[in-house]
Amino acid sequence: MNFAEMTAKMAAGNGFIAALDQSGGSTPKALAGYGIGEDAWTTEAEMFDLIHSMRERIITSPAFDGSKVIGAILFERTMDGTAGGKPVPQALIDKGVVPFIKIDKGLEAEENGVQLMKPMPELDALLARSKALGVFGTKERSVINSANREGIAAVVKQQFEVGQQVLAHGMMPIIEPEVNIKSETRAECDAILLDEILKNLAELPEGQQVMLKLSLPVEPGKFDALVDHPKVLRVVALSGGYKRPEACVELSKNRGIIASFSRALLEDLRHQMTQAEFDAALGEAIDQIYRGSTQKI
């Protein structure tokens, strides 16, 4: 797939985006869920080798291909690794899966009810290297914990500024201002976030598009204006802590939004499974998330 073909698949492809981008802070929890305890490694390098082996097992599984998984978000170390003897981005492309890379370096301390992204001084170099490997786009995450308009405006402004940097490299940004699903002001957060995203989209130069990764809204259909917006290539949803069945039900209530799940995709996979058991469990998860993404209530 070339860039135009990847763009077309992202715009209209039936399926969802797999988030395989757990970073240093979330890797131990992901490995624990996979059945590997912290006593299995002594160094960070060993830990990342273990999570890469899990990701390679997913990517090379016959259950994982571009017929239902249209994209995959990678951690930087995963992008630099191999799967089935191929560089990971190429292995994905060969399966019809569009590769993305997580570029944020974690979150700042909470201020005004939100957590901004930490500085990314080496971003231009990472973007150039990623694009050379065939990566189509990026994903960058902030968190919104309460309905503070000043804070939410700052999150969205920073996200679009980073998005412009990504666009300048000829890549597609997935802008992710996550609303914490445990927030007591979730509905108000959704409303303010929608307003701020629409303001920033209006300022985006004509001909440019971004993707959006959002928490599933309290009110189904709340983000319809974003789904229909000409400057939005696609809206995808994170599971945000929901278990997969509940996440898929909530997803199915929102037209035009597809999944970009991480924990909800991996929750039934275990290191101890035979390959047949692993492929079956992964295939069942993929089928359920695919239905939530494509069959709307």
In whole angstroms, give the CA distance from residue 164 to residue 70.
24
* SS3 at position 108: coil
Q: State the sign of the Cα–Cα–Cα–Cα dihedral 33, 37, 43, 49.
A: negative
d(CA 259, CA 72): 11
Residue of 56, 140, 176, 250 with catalytic role: 176
* DSSP letter string, 116-185: PBPP-TTHHHHHHHHHHTT--EEEEEEEE-S--HHHHHHHHHHHHHHHHHHHHTT-EEEEEEEEPTT-TT
- Which residue among the candidates 102, 131, 139, 213 is catalytic per the annotation? 213
- The C-alpha atoms of residue 15 and residue 67 are separated, in whole angstroms, by 7
Output the CA–CA distances (angstroms, integers) from residue 100 to 76, 108, 118, 127, 171, in the order listed: 10, 23, 20, 11, 9
Q: How far apart are CA 255 and CA 248, in angstroms?
A: 12
User: How many angstroms separate the first and last alpha carbons of the chain?
Assistant: 32
Q: Tell which residue, 104, 77, 80, has the closest CA to residue 90.
A: 80
Residue identified by tokens 């914990």 is 145
- Among this protein's residues, is 176 annotated catalytic? yes
Of 218, 209, 295, give the one whose Cα is nearest residue 252. Answer: 295
Q: Catalytic positions, please?
A: 176, 213
